[in-house]
Structure 1
């Protein structure tokens, strides 16, 4: 199954206090530290220990200071040290939210330790990305980790390796390309080219490993960055300040020096979103996780370099959700499961022996299973025409129960080839209903 293509973005536009930079350090005898990660919806989830509490963080090149949120499960034991109230603003159609700025915290990632880490704590229950990702995450970390190491990101084998800069030696690599990075507000940018509407256009792109999308482009008539007529309006993702909407299309190609990605997906966010994120006037868009995962990367903030090497995912075609359904995790349900067994024995009438009657028995148990809910239906899509509605809870897909599926497994059905028949059983207001439709690409 293809990975769920739900975008996740976060960019802070608040003012940070100037202060001496804290530092992550490895044991002096260690040249590097390997850390396994989960790859969920094209974004990297790593284990992080905060003041002795084990949490899961999204690794995001596009964020400056760490953010800790949705951690009410740990609120009794995770202390917010030296706190002061501030307001944060991120992507989305909402306003600023209240947060606490906490300093002098201890963060541990593998064997890398920082005993003076500042982070922003968000307690607002509306800031909850777990339903869209399908797993609970507790925070986001980026620049503060990347600045202290040369970070190897191996998307193929799902690990990162933190290298001490003074002990790292670059290896010769004929299949690699190295890019110079430019930084603005501690965020990395590189120069690339997009081929669209028959024109080769130079662009400056934010490198954002925290976005699960492929490419964002900002419309600009002067640079000929314009949307073709072949597009559809869509929910693009969730940000710190709410939802993000825009138009999705495909462009002819993305060019990263010798590497050419053909017909990549591209999103053109609404003007409100662009106004909130385009603080760097030369920025033309974003390279997200669906592009980055096609390479194994060496991220070197110390020397302002990014090295890319194509991996197993490089030649994978870009694909859209062809159903029009956008699904989120909707908590859990208690399910009664039956085990049926037959206690009979074989009786031979020609032999002496005791006759045993057949006994059919049932054992049952209650299990906690995930539930999945429709949170958006794209107008005029196959699912929309079939009658699916926001709030429908999906019980079955093509004869299989969704209770034993991950969110990725379920949404993967919607990325199959055009014309594939989809059969759903959903719960709507306590009644089971059946729906059928054929997958249809929104972009021809």
Structure 2
């Protein structure tokens, strides 16, 4: 499961400007506001891997951003060959975050104009620009992702997220009335360093503990807990080690398991998924003692959520996703986009040509025949979990998946391909892959991880 961990944006070290921080004044900023009549404005979003993707215009250029309640300042990634917004007032900084690597260089830009669907506007916002091409999550999601935005939106507006209708309503402060209903619960939020926390209870290995959790819509996981002696939490006996995701400071590893129970106010979940990141991945994070973990998108999408930072509360109403089971990746494969494939229209996957094959001139154009080709994303195996059915079958990182059980990869999204490879325990999975220019076939059966 993919999740995003671009957090801890407060932990910055300006390059060559350390002596200026103490005397720097706080500049007033306009913040987000509605520029049209009415008490709210509605924006449609895409839900990809439990993440909310919204349209954001930065200095006149249309982009796609993750709406992330766990990030302080907007972050913009390297846009590659796409259209680039114009920026000014640059200041070099270093940012540390989750992961086992070091801090990365970024640039702070001031006085930028941000629009969300034209009618939600901030006319003077700071941005952090990350030019490291390794910080690029579009391949894992299968759609362009240009950045992350969070705190300023939630600070200035009441944000009503309907995961079932895939729409957000941004309300003017003071105009929204929190509803009371049988399926609703309103939580008090603790705002610490511009981030929202709520209290919950978890039962792990027969022990019940009260925990303080970061509300993190920028994580596609369900639940994170920190293995620490002071909070009484530890990795359950039944678990497996796994790659958890990518953070600002590199790869994040840890253990995956299930909690026996998770209580959020009036709501109860049985056998919810949980990840325990290892200590090395958490080494750069500040203020860890103030929380015990986080709840992410796989929990949040089971509700329609209203976030009110000014009122320090959040209302959650369960929706039709509430009782869906928590599933782990049974195949052990994680996919990503890597380049394009050229396929002859109307042929089967055995006749597909890769971008690399085109470069090597390994196919012929026959005189008198007009052949039609189309370009499709190449689905490359990004990770294979040790001990998983895919690993035991011999699949490797870098293999390009051409078909699953006879269904061609072309025309499908990454999410659809992952679903095909994780149908149910006991299901036989047949893969056709390309490895170093050769097509190879593999077979394995899915099995429950926990």
Whether the 8 Å CA contact 2:40–2:169 is kept in 1: the answer is yes
Distance of 2:195 and 2:181 partners within structure 1: 26
Judge conservation of contact 1:319–1:415 (CA < 8 Å) in 2. Answer: no
- Equivalent in 305, 309, 320 of residue 313 of structure 2: 305
Deviates more, 1:99-108 or 1:171-180: 171-180
Instruction: Give 3-state SS (helix, strand or coil) of 1:132's partner.
Output: helix
Q: Indicate conservation of the 8 Å contact 1:31/1:167, yes or no.
A: yes
- Name the residue aligned to 2:235: 227
CA contact (8 A) 1:9 1:211 kept: yes
CA distance in 2, matches of 1:243, 1:221: 24
SS of 1:290's partner is helix
3-state SS of 1:383 partner: helix
Calculate the TM-score normalised by the size of structure 2. 0.90
Instruction: Kindly report which structure 2 residues correspond to 1:132-281, keeping only aligned pairs within 5 A, or say none.
Output: 132-281=140-289
1:101 and 2:127 correspond:
no
Distance in 1 (CA, whole Å) between partners of 2:307 and 2:181 is: 15
Aligned residues of 1:210 and 1:288 also touching (Cα < 8 A): yes
Output the CA distance in 1 between the equivalents of 2:412 and 2:387: 27
Equivalent residues in 2 for 1:21-420, closer than 5 Å: 21-27=29-35, 29-74=37-82, 77-110=84-117, 111-338=119-346, 364-420=371-427
Match for residue 14 of structure 1 among 7, 11, 15: 11
Secondary structure, aligned partner of 2:417: helix
Q: Please give the per-residue CA displacement for 1:384-404, whole angstroms capped at 9, x wherever unaligned.
A: 111111111100100011011
TM-score, scaled to structure 1:
0.91
State the alpha-carbon separation in 2 of the partners of residues 278 and 437 from structure 1: 43
Query: What does residue 347 of structure 1 align with?
Result: none
Q: 1:86 to 1:263 in 2, by over 3 A?
A: same
Give, in angstroms, the shift of residue 279 of structure 1: 1.6
How far off its partner does 1:28 sit? 5.5
- Give the Cα separation in 2 of the matches to 1:227 and 1:136: 35
Q: Deviations over 1:61-83 (max 9, x none)?
A: 000000011323345x4111211
How far apart, CA to CA, are the structure 2 residues paired with 1:434 and 1:72? 34
* Contact kept? 1:247, 1:269, Cα under 8 Å: yes
Note the alpha carbon deviations across 1:273-328, whole angstroms, 9 max, x for none. Answer: 23323524121001000000000000000100010000011000000110111211
> Contact 2:69 / 2:151 at 8 angstroms: preserved in 1?
yes
The 3-state SS of whatever aligns with 1:423 is: strand
Task: Provide the C-alpha distance between the structure 2 equivalents of 1:26 and 1:389, rounded to a whole number of angstroms.
Answer: 50
Which ranges in structure 2 are unaligned for 5 or more consecutive residues? 14-20, 349-367
Hey, what's the Cα distance between the residues in 2 that align with 1:204 and 1:211?
Answer: 16
The change in CA–CA distance for 1:181 and 1:399 in structure 2 (over 3 A counts) is: same
Task: Report the CA distance shift for 1:171/1:377 in structure 2 as closer, same or farther (over 3 A).
Answer: closer
Give the aligned partner of residue 436 of structure 2.
429
**What is the rounded CA distance, in whole Å, between the counterparts of 1:219 and 1:339 in structure 2?**
52
For 1:55 and 1:36, the matched residues in 2 are separated by 14
After superposition, give the CA deviation of every residue in 1:39-71 in whole Å (9 maximum; x if it has no partner). Answer: 000000000000000000000000000001132
